[in-house]
Amino acid sequence: MTTALTLSHGRRSDGTELLTAVGEIDMSNAAELARALAGTAGPLVLDLTEVEYLDSAGLSVLFPHAERLQLVTNPLLDPVLTISGLSDLTTVHGA
């Protein structure tokens, strides 16, 4: 059984690709996220507003795509993103 995570693809009004994640991300389902990210190319907005938990397993999936990612997050995730240094590599927007 993996941790509940819903991933849905979409596009922003400006045409940028959008990936919306809802749920929790840990080592049991990080691969799902990795696959979803691999399925996209070019700039991508990753919406983590509804993600309640993100740990190093999730982060390590995000790092390879850091250059092309823009993150939309919630305050709960701030410490993790800051400490890991991901917020220095990507653009982070508050929700």
Site string for another protein, 59-88 (x = CB under 8 A): xx---------------x--xx--xx----
The nearer residue to another protein, 27 or 95, going by C-beta atoms, is 27
Q: How far is the CB of 50 from another protein (least distance, A)?
A: 15
Letter for the amino acid at 49? Answer: T
Is the separation of the CB atoms in 27 and 2 below 8 Å? no
Q: How far is the CB of 23 from another protein (least distance, A)?
A: 9
Hey, which residues does 94 pair with through a beta bridge?
A: 73
Q: What is the dihedral of CA 51, 6, 66, 34, to 10 degrees?
A: 130
Is the separation of the CB atoms in 14 and 39 below 8 Å? no
Q: Which residues bind another protein (CB under 8 A)?
A: 1-4, 24, 26-28, 53-57, 59-60, 76, 79-80, 83-84
